[in-house]
Copies of this chain bind each other. A is one copy, B any other.
């Protein structure tokens, strides 16, 4: 599975997921919504008919906040939605 892209200014993890159909896109978004709710982590998400882009920012809103285990584990759980 592709890795998440780590980007800076501001620090964040990003990944694009592509799907064959709108139904698959929605199923993924539903799973992601349940995961967000259970973990209380709410990434920024963009999507269209067959793609979803996710941006995960550090939970801390301090200026120099870094990506921690919290975000990395959440990213891994998102990947797990596709298993």
Cα A70 to Cα B46 with chains together (Å) = 23
Cα A49 to Cα B40 with chains together (Å) = 10
* A11-23 vs B, Cβ < 8 Å mask (1 yes, 0 no): 0000000000010
Cα A43 to Cα B46 with chains together (Å) = 11
Q: Does A2 contact B (CB under 8 A)?
A: no
Q: Does A22 lie within 8 Å of B48, measured CB to CB? A: no
Cα A48 to Cα B53 with chains together (Å) = 12
Highest count of chain B CB atoms <10 Å: which of A37, A43, A45:
A45
Q: Does A22 lie within 8 Å of B42, measured CB to CB? A: yes
Q: Which residues of B contact A37 (CB under 8 A)?
A: 22, 26
